[in-house]
Chain A
């Protein structure tokens, strides 16, 4: 069990985790200041016989400082965050050479359509597999997300990718896996009684393994 974020397995994980750490530092400093301050005050200024409180209505300079510092920090955070947001989710963020996979969410399974040997979705050699997402490492993948019924959500923690899948909408979500291995895809939006079991296995292969799998799976699909 780790006490930290899951292992990184995509190109998004670096920037997202970095941003997380930056926020942890900022909020950590604020946390320590406030909590330590409160504890110190409760001890130092607790009521004792003969003690009198210091009568003041405030201090304008203090107000300005503790308004400005958080404001500036938030603006900086916003600018940095937005840079990555546009890169990950922006309208034009999907790389042109991304490998397309159709992912159709349905209560309570993921129907995954592969483009087949010709590499194009929507052609005759496409085939569909339940609950198994196979991808090659080191290439951008674009998931064409659609839903049969209710809102689901495509989520692979180690890829740091999440995108709601909405009926009536065709949504593209891209990611680039960096570490071969097996992972899990979970549904991350309550979709009914089987929500907790709407799980797929994710296999990140080397390109050679992926090609081999693709050939075999395409064959099996025609049987």
Chain B
């Protein structure tokens, strides 16, 4: 009977004598590219958080000078008091940085790049150089977006959704170069996504190791695969729309100008046709990685693997026909409101199926609450709240009331933070040993988890209440409305919770950076997991395997009756296993 230890020699480092700059800067190694995405995206996560802190200061303590506000220029905050036009820049850029430069690249740029070749059993992506360009165009996009904060007249300020005509007309927004740089940056982000998606799709289809059939792929890979298809088809629409917006801004075209035959609603249709698949891009990889982590943490196979795959595919498919639910009161034909309501209600079903399957996985398991498992369990608990709040929005008459209120803000933060970000905390800790050869501190990971969980709920749950009361989004000072004045104590409570939440993330950042140098050296398979990546040393070497492993089973064979231990890796051959029929073409 084979044990895990015997597989150690499947992995030898392929001797790597490239110069430093080719190895770590302009690298074509998918693992290095993944790590590059990780470092840069964590930086932008911090930027997004700082922008939010300023917003929350203004909402919690309206009109008061922000501590340390002296460093902000007078055009943003004279005497440290945030100006209305700066506030809406904060709102816009917080959303923009978090969606495009933090969550999406953390989920896709990092984990699609790092995990796919490792988990399907190949040396690298199908097109390593294109992959490198995918990172560098993302980096350029980030620089452009960051620059837009510092240009004359300030940054874009029409919300991350950038509705026209406000975004297209400088005379109406007060911004100029900043708005244009937003468009340019988004075009580059689109390019990065498209180049990445090409790789992820081609690699998964063509380069799986012998025996790695479609239904033996881990759910993290399935979700990244469907995400890549969404990205490939949706990002061009956004880039196209951004090009049209840029042309209206600088070349006097009139795509979106009603006075000259254009249409304001055209932007919304284009943006949301991209935007809805985008939000599934922002959740599916998280769901996939959570599946891997929960199966591991429960020491049980994933409950309903095939249903889970079908649910991912269903979400991916249905995600294309729901975009109008962002536009129920936009002025579009109300009949479309009916059809989009139907498709939106239906898309709730596969998500519900996934939640039940995660619970089914934990049921009668042997639950080990490591830091990744804690975060993955919290994902399920928080995602459910976010998903359920979505049902109120799907019901069109109710959406009329809660559209553009804090109820929506609560919903989106429950799915993106409660969902995606908790999943990311789990994933970062989980695959950290394979990336860096060290472990993050378990104790500080738990402290970070609990504090984040508490402060996070204190920050975002009350927003359901203020949203129900009718508090609109993007208001510099809700107290202008008499009916919103009584909620100021709640806004203050939310702000203080948010400050504590932000401060808590310092623990994660310090843990992350400190462990790079001083973390406990990692074993090859510290989580006793079954994926192919755990057959490699930690950190994984360039080229991954000399000879790719052969796959004999699915990825979730925990507590298998024939295994001596409570896990049975995909690459371990039991006497009862047969060799796979034939290898996919590019497997070596």
Contact = CB atoms under 8 A, between A and B. Distances in A.
Q: In the complex, A touching B, CB below 8 Å?
A: yes
Interface of A: 1-6, 12, 15-16, 19-20, 23, 26-27, 30-31, 34-35, 37-38, 41-42, 45-47, 51-59, 62-63, 66-67, 70-71, 74-75, 77-78, 81-82, 84-86, 88-91, 107, 149-151, 153, 155, 157, 160-169, 171, 183-184, 186-197, 199
A19 B403 contact: no
Nearest to B388: A27
A77 B391 contact: yes
A51 B366 contact: yes
A1 B385 CA distance: 24
A189 B163 contact: yes
Summarize B's interface: helix, strand, loop or mixed.
helix
Contacts of B489: 1
Given A31-B388, A58-B360, A53 B366 contact: yes
B356 A162 contact: no
Contact of B166 (A26, A81, A82, A191): A191
Interface of B: 83-85, 88, 91, 157-159, 163-166, 169, 172-174, 258-259, 262-265, 298-307, 329-331, 333-335, 337-338, 341-342, 345-346, 348-349, 352-353, 355-357, 359-360, 362-369, 377, 380-381, 384-385, 388-389, 391-392, 394-398, 400-401, 403-405, 465, 468-470, 472-478, 480-483, 486-487, 489-490, 558-561, 566
A149 B165 contact: yes
B349 A54 contact: no
A162 B258 contact: no
B349 A81 contact: no
Contacts of A190: 88, 91, 158-159, 163, 166, 473-474
A192 B380 CA distance: 38
Contacts, number: 293
A146 to B, nearest CB: 11
19 contacts: A6-B483, A31-B384, A34-B355, A38-B359, A45-B364, A45-B367, A52-B366, A55-B560, A63-B357, A84-B397, A107-B172, A150-B169, A153-B329, A160-B400, A166-B265, A166-B331, A186-B472, A193-B88, A195-B475
B400 A184 contact: no
A138 to B, nearest CB: 22
Contact of A171 (B88, B159, B331): B331
| Most chain A beta-carbon neighbours within 10 Å: one of B174, B481, B487 | B481
B123 to A, nearest CB: 31
Nearest to A148: B172
Contacts of B475: 195-196
Given A52-B559, A66-B353, 10 more contacts: A6-B469, A30-B384, A41-B363, A52-B366, A59-B360, A78-B342, A85-B337, A183-B483, A188-B405, A196-B477
Contact of B401 (A16, A171, A193): A16
Given A38-B380, A70-B348, A196-B476, A162 B403 contact: yes
A187 B367 CA distance: 50
3 smallest CB-CB distances across A and B, nearest first, come from A168-B258, A157-B470, A1-B486
Contact of B388 (A30, A47, A53): A30
Nearest to B466: A1
A161 B470 CA distance: 11
A77 B395 contact: yes
Nearest to A159: B401
Contacts of A42: 362, 367, 369, 377
| Most chain A beta-carbon neighbours within 10 Å: one of B83, B166, B346, B474 | B166
B364 A81 contact: no
